[in-house]
Structure 1
Amino acid sequence: MPARPRRRWLLVATVAWALLLALLTWLSVRDDPPTVREQRSLAEAGPRADRATGELAAAAGPSALLELTPPQLDRGCRVTPFADGAALTRGVEVAVAEGGERELLDRIAERLPARWRAGVRLTPDGPRLRADAGEFVAVDGRPAGDGRIRLTVRTGCRPLGDGYPSVSAPAGAETAALADALRALGQPAQAAPHLVSAPCPGGGVARTARVDGLTTSTGLAVALGPLATGGPALETADTYAYRTGPLTVLATTAVESPRVSATAPCA
């Protein structure tokens, strides 16, 4: 066979083989049972991320100055060359006195389930907690500046499936505590603050009621001091936190995220 026809047939065979591989890959992604992270849908990974968030809230302890941050769902990532996906991020932020970040991260790591293999190491950017919540759900904790620890739960990019079945729980005493703080700060009444919740490992639910975009001309300590019957739990130039019963109320005018929140922790 002349060289030119042979090269033509080799090219045709190569293209056909590539198309066959692409077809088999698409059929596998569509029909095979999950064997790797990329094939477990967000509908399956979401509840695991919710439970991991509750574990972090519980590990921080009932006296921690914590708040649950709103879930973030980022669409448009690529699971495979043939399928789009979405990634879920959940989080817990804990206020801590400056200098106590490493101690808090160590305490949280010790309280997390042993199967998570949680640990804290010192990096050039400060102490960092890492853990594996199972089913390819990653946990990270690090200082976020201004006396805050940010604990993050990530699913990575997943097929969307039936979507993220977000946790919902009825509002509780945290909404009344938030309303009291807003009135003291001279903020307009909020009929429906943003509610975030996560299931606690021992039963029950941790809940945060939150209003973003705090603007006030009155100092936080001046406005909220009368509500902090036991004194402030944390007071900095732009943050004021106090406890009312088991609840934590936190107000901050920090430029990146001014807000007021009230949180009911895990029991």
Structure 2
Amino acid sequence: MTVLWTLLLGVLTWWSARTDAPTVREQRTLGQALPVVQRSVGQLVAAVGDGAWAMTGQRVERGCRVTPMDDGAELTRGVDVLVAEGGERALLESVADRLPEDWRAGVRVSSEGPRLRADAGEFVLVEGRVVTPGRVRFGVQTGCRPLDDVALADLLPGNPGEPALDEALRALGRPADDAVEQVVAPCPGGGTARTRWVEAGPAPMSLAGLTPLAAGAALVDTPEVYAWRRGPVVVLADATGERVRLAASTGCS
């Protein structure tokens, strides 16, 4: 009986290891979480709608501890949204209301201001917070996981051209730049959301030359940030860092 019981336990363990879904985050690799992260970013873009936004690049941080014996890595992606000062909480609540119901998204107010939290499934966390007045950052985080050999590349790699960026560079007196970077995410209803960006030079830099491109209908107009719409593309000039960045984003219809 002991031998038979031991054999039965061995067979059940083998079957469970091969067929059962992982039950904790530490059992899922970073590569397995990547599709969930990509889809979550697409959901955020769709929930943001027609505002001034740009997806942030994919960041992988190594060196965290999955277990006391094993190193891992954490993957983060997100979306930055610019609104009029005072409208940050309304944006967070609007996005929470538009996210899938099973994410259980909600906004709570803490000593650090309003914060959105949601569960995208597969142990992937979605957060939204105010980083500076008028700027809200939504982040999708995997937490620390085993790092596998999957290529952590975006869905459409490469350096494609973008007419809206070339137009903005000319308006700032800068030559066209081939060093365009791109990040993409699948839209919930099909299609692909994308952000392409390029550096326009060191800050500070006057953004006044961009005013004619908005045709009097700027989405955001401050000394350091200027955003407008060019057809379906949202163009954003950000001079808040050490380098001026131009981003052109196409969302989910």
Normalising by the smaller structure, the TM-score range is 0.7 to 0.9
Residues 75 and 90 (structure 1), Cα distance of their counterparts in 2 relative to 1, 3 Å cut:
same
> What CA distance in whole angstroms lies between the structure 2 residues aligned with 1:141 and 1:111?
14
In the TM superposition, what is the alpha-carbon distance from 1:242 to its structure 2 partner?
A: 0.7
> What CA distance in whole angstroms lies between the structure 2 residues aligned with 1:144 and 1:129?
13
> What CA distance in whole angstroms lies between the structure 1 residues aligned with 2:239 and 2:215?
22
Secondary structure of residue in 2 paired with 1:191: coil
Show structure 2 runs of 5+ residues with no match. Answer: 1-13
C-alpha contact (below 8 Å) 1:37/1:158 kept by paired residues: yes
| 1:193-232 deviation digits (Å, cap 9, x = unpaired) | 1101111111111111112364367521x21011112421
| 1:152-207 deviation digits (Å, cap 9, x = unpaired) | 00000111123354332378998111111111112232113110111111111111
| 1:45-73 deviation digits (Å, cap 9, x = unpaired) | 01101100110010001x11110000100
Quote the residue 2:5 is aligned against.
none
Quote the residue 2:27 is aligned against.
39
C-alpha contact (below 8 Å) 2:179/2:198 kept by paired residues: no
1:251 paired with 2:241, answer no
Matched letter for residue 208 of structure 1:
T
Quote the residue 2:247 is aligned against.
261
More helix by share: 1
Q: Percent identity?
A: 51
Show structure 1 runs of 5+ residues with no match. Answer: 1-27
C-alpha contact (below 8 Å) 1:214/1:253 kept by paired residues: no
Moved over 3 A (4+): 170-174
| 1:80-101 deviation digits (Å, cap 9, x = unpaired) | 1222211100010001011110
Quote the residue 2:134 is aligned against.
147
Quote the residue 1:3 is aligned against.
none
> What CA distance in whole angstroms lies between the structure 1 residues aligned with 2:159 and 2:200?
22
Residues 57 and 129 (structure 1), Cα distance of their counterparts in 2 relative to 1, 3 Å cut:
same
Matched letter for residue 238 of structure 2:
T
In the TM superposition, what is the alpha-carbon distance from 1:236 to its structure 2 partner?
A: 1.1
TM-score (normalised: structure 1): 0.82
1:179 paired with 2:166, answer yes
**How many residue pairs were aligned?**
236
1:129 paired with 2:129, answer no
1:97 paired with 2:54, answer no
Aligned-CA RMSD value: 2.2
Quote the residue 1:231 is aligned against.
217
Greater Rg by CA: 1
> What CA distance in whole angstroms lies between the structure 2 residues aligned with 1:122 and 1:48?
27
C-alpha contact (below 8 Å) 1:225/1:231 kept by paired residues: no
